[in-house]
Amino acid sequence: MENQGILRIGIVGSGNVATHLAKAISLSKHQLTQVLSRNLERAKILTNNTDSEAIDKPSMLNPKLDILIFALKDDVLHSDFISQFPKDLILCHTSGSVSMEAFINFPNHGIFYPLQTFSKQKEVDFKEIPICLEANNQAVLHKLHSLASSLSNHVYEINSQQRKALHLAAVFACNFTNLMYDISEKLSQESGLDFEILRPLIKETAAKVQDHLPTEVQTGPAARNDNNIIEEHLKLLSNHRNYKEIYQILTNVIKTNNEEL
Amino acid sequence: MENQGILRIGIVGSGNVATHLAKAISLSKHQLTQVLSRNLERAKILTNNTDSEAIDKPSMLNPKLDILIFALKDDVLHSDFISQFPKDLILCHTSGSVSMEAFINFPNHGIFYPLQTFSKQKEVDFKEIPICLEANNQAVLHKLHSLASSLSNHVYEINSQQRKALHLAAVFACNFTNLMYDISEKLSQESGLDFEILRPLIKETAAKVQDHLPTEVQTGPAARNDNNIIEEHLKLLSNHRNYKEIYQILTNVIKTNNEEL
């Protein structure tokens, strides 16, 4: 007899997303059944301490899998790699930028996109990670929803156009934000200051927008229209052509936002 | 008999920094003695539930104050306002950008710069806030250190040049970072997405650099040199001239950093 409502999940991949996903699924009510990686040893790291099986060939896939999640680099999703998989499986991928059409030759497919920045060495609380779903039919959506809601308290259904916009927004919220941290680190280091001084400020800046909109809590010389300080900062940046250009354009955007308020 | 080592502190100002500082001092081993504001009612909000006195004129200052902290807007520190204060007090201010020379006519003076973004409505743990000190002599430095280390676990001695660099670095780490959040909010809103989806990512991005250097954890299309995605993002931004320009320059800086690694 089948276990009611318990899904058998396979993961393809052994990188950061696959690692965190495998762990979260193995702790959920659903079953992590198989992890497939071209590198069997890496697949075994993910299946270690779980009831699941590490495999290295699509032909070894369990035909009873309910969902097969591709947690791979974008370029692999475009390749012939996918055509090797059985047509009767539900296939989905975790990419923010690859279209659902990657699976167009499969009758049942979707997207399972966890919006977070993962590193192998850092634990994350999967319950807090937004999971964005899309599917080519309601039956698939229902199954993806069942899995997602067992892993996270924040499940969203978004379409491909929204997912692209979200991925772009995430570049600003995460990648470009990290570059701002990086520039602040380099500027402080140049003056013999430890980056440690800036860490509490970084933490609090992120904490503030957890219950406010960023536009409500914008501070600093540009928001105050304090042109004396801005001029002084531009002078300090005279040896950093790129940073100076970034300072100028970001300052102008903040000033323009202020005028529009 | 005087209480050994207990300093009597006065605060000038009733804004965000003054508010959080008054609260932290009143909870410390030192004594919040007076709060001076041109608006007496606002000073009273800060002295409420403390043993300290609200005043609205420099002539009312207690001559036994050990340290008088100016937590005011930068432009007030430049004005004739300061000349009204008694010459025998230790004067210091909390600004990241105003020189110590603001107090040049006072024999004992310094800087007491807490590096944090304060809002009245949000509690902060003062123990975690870096306090940056500077003084024109060792006796003043000693007193400022005694106060600072009773409020925070993170006390630094930095000179004026370093403080200016730190203030500039903080514009990147806080003000420009918040603009990145703001742009991500606007881009997601345009596609009908709730900013709530991005909040966990923002929190984790700040959490990652608490124990890593930003350059070690840089991710995203620019870090991967994924030019297909970059082109797609620039197309999505074609109606946002400013955001597109920001995307281009930040992407180029991340790519250049990568080449230098």
Nearest to B63 by CA among B84, B88, B42: B88
**pLDDT tens digit sequence for A20-76:** 999 999 999 999 999 999 999 999 999 998 889 999 999 999 999 999 999 998 888
Asked whether the beta carbons of B21 and B114 are under 8 A apart, the reply is: yes
Rg of the Cα trace of chain A? 23
Do A197 and B254 lie within an 8 Å CB cutoff? no
**pLDDT tens digit sequence for B124-150:** 899 999 999 999 999 999 999 999 999
Does B162 touch chain A if contact means CB atoms closer than 8 Å? yes
How far away is chain A from the Cα of B19, in angstroms, using its nearest Cα? 17
Pairing of strands A109-114, A131-135: antiparallel
User: Residue for token digits 């006519």?
Assistant: B105
Do A193 and B257 lie within an 8 Å CB cutoff? no
Contacts of B66 (CB under 8 A, 6+ apart): B7, B8, B9, B90, B143
Does A229 touch chain B if contact means CB atoms closer than 8 Å? yes
Set of chain B residues whose Cβ sits within 8 Å of the Cβ of A249? 242, 245-246, 249
Set of chain A residues whose Cβ sits within 8 Å of the Cβ of B236? 164-165, 168
Residues 113-142 of A with CB under 8 A from B: 115-117, 119, 122, 124, 128-130, 132
Structure tokens at A118: 């993962």
pTM of the predicted protein model: 0.93
Residue B1, pLDDT > 80, answer no
Nearest to B197 among A115, A185, A257 (CB): A115
Do A200 and B226 lie within an 8 Å CB cutoff? no
Global ipTM: 0.93
| Distance, CA of A60 to CA of A158 (rounded, Å) | 33
Give start and end residues of each alpha helix (H) in A102-176.
138-151, 160-170
Q: What is the mean pLDDT of residues B155-171?
A: 96
**pLDDT tens digit sequence for B80-92:** 889 999 999 999 9
Asked whether the beta carbons of A116 and A85 are under 8 A apart, the reply is: no
Do B209 and A181 lie within an 8 Å CB cutoff? yes
Asked whether the beta carbons of B183 and A172 are under 8 A apart, the reply is: yes
Set of chain B residues whose Cβ sits within 8 Å of the Cβ of A254? 175, 179
